[in-house]
Amino acid sequence: MINLDILNLSLSHRHCSDLRGLLTAVNCGNVKWGNTMQVASTVAKVLALIVIIIAGMVKLCQGYTTNFENSFEDSNLNAGDVALALYSALYSYSGWDTLNFVTEELKNPERNLPLSIAISIPLVTVIYVLTNVAYYTVLDLNTVLDSEAVAVTFADEILGYARWLIPISVAMSCYGGLNASLIAVSRLYFVGSREGHLPTVLCMIHVNTCTPIPALIFSGGMSLIYLVVEDVFQLINYFSFNYWLFIGLSIVSQIYLRFKFPDMPRPVKLSLFFPITFCLCTVFLVVVPLYSDTINTMVGIAIALSGVPAYYLCIYLPPDRQPKCLQKLLGFLTLNVQKLCLCCAVDSEDRKEM
């Protein structure tokens, strides 16, 4: 499940909301429907990128190298700007993390999870680099910056009558990226609720299809709220600060557990060099933007902290100390979601039996 967003397309808020609603309905209907859509969109994206790479390499072999002259002239090497640029770049590679959220649905995850990541990340990196080489072989820097969908502009310039294939692939790329995030985030809410970190209503599954319908609907609803932010790059900056902060904290906790409980069973083992290096990179991605983009970073912190009162009231406080109105609201939601979605709650013991 790799986030191949190098075919990025700028969609209107209305189209995004409609698309999100459609994908939520598909994933609520059946787990296999969502997985099939993900495979189909990934195949379409990869084939489109291969077409772009081949077309670009042909032009490069023909001597079209003008756009590579003085490529890095007047580059901005400010650490803060580099960190913010990495936010957008690393967002395109976020599939390595997305796969971790569906570990429980993998067959033989001890083998297949690290194997899939080890194969996919180098493969996607090579595809991305070659795709960008193809883009800059045909398009100059200003054209790339002004284009809303670089792949479509590239196709208009070079593919002739076959250019109509690329917009379709771009659209499928958008479907795949949204579908992957919907699958992953809904599982995050589901497991968090099952382990007691979120309200019980989110750990319910359909009695027949076993799809986490409440978590899927909640994930879709939250994404619609974020559409209030019109600038997608600003939204990425909000998201990425919190993303890398909590990813870094997660890796630090793994290092701590390695020393605190050295004999704990570990299905996947790595040298400490990798998590320590990763933590140092996350420190750069988190600390530097605090100085270079303070306002947006503070907004990201505020978004993260907004969950504290909700956690305190709904989870941390025992039921007898919660406000009566909140108890009634949670009970009302839980009961009616069960009836409306034909769902039942799942706990850790039930999951082990499944």
**How many C-beta atoms surround the C-beta of residue 192 within 10 A?**
16
Q: What is the tally of helices (H) and strands (E) in the chain?
A: 15, 2
Reported in sequence order, the residue ranges of the chain that DSSP labels E, i.e. its strands, are 204-206, 343-345
Tell whether pTM > 0.75.
Answer: yes
| pLDDT score, position 214 | 92
What does DSSP assign to residue 1? Answer: -
Tokens of 63: 């001597």
Which tens digit of pLDDT belongs to each residue from 160-201? 777 788 888 877 877 888 888 888 888 889 988 888 888 888
Apex 140 CA angle, 139 and 143, nearest 5: 80
Q: Assess contact for 151 and 164: CB atoms under 8 A.
A: no
What is the identity of the amino acid at 152? V
Entry field: residues in the chain:
354
| pLDDT score, position 171 | 79
Residues of the chain with pLDDT under 50: 1-11, 352-354
* CA–CA distance, 297 with 238 (Å, rounded to integer): 6
Residue at token pair 């398009």: 139
* CA–CA distance, 42 with 135 (Å, rounded to integer): 20
* CA–CA distance, 276 with 299 (Å, rounded to integer): 28
Nearest in space to 288 (alpha carbons), one of 244, 330, 258, 323: 244
H-helix or E-strand spanning residue 288: helix 273-292
* CA–CA distance, 104 with 59 (Å, rounded to integer): 45
Tokens of 197: 């970190």
Which tens digit of pLDDT belongs to each residue from 100-153? 787 887 888 888 888 888 888 888 889 989 998 998 898 888 888 888 778 888
Phi, psi of 344 (to 5 degrees): -135, 155
* CA–CA distance, 166 with 177 (Å, rounded to integer): 16
Residue at token pair 């600038």: 231
| pLDDT score, position 12 | 53
Q: Assess contact for 169 and 7: CB atoms under 8 A.
A: yes
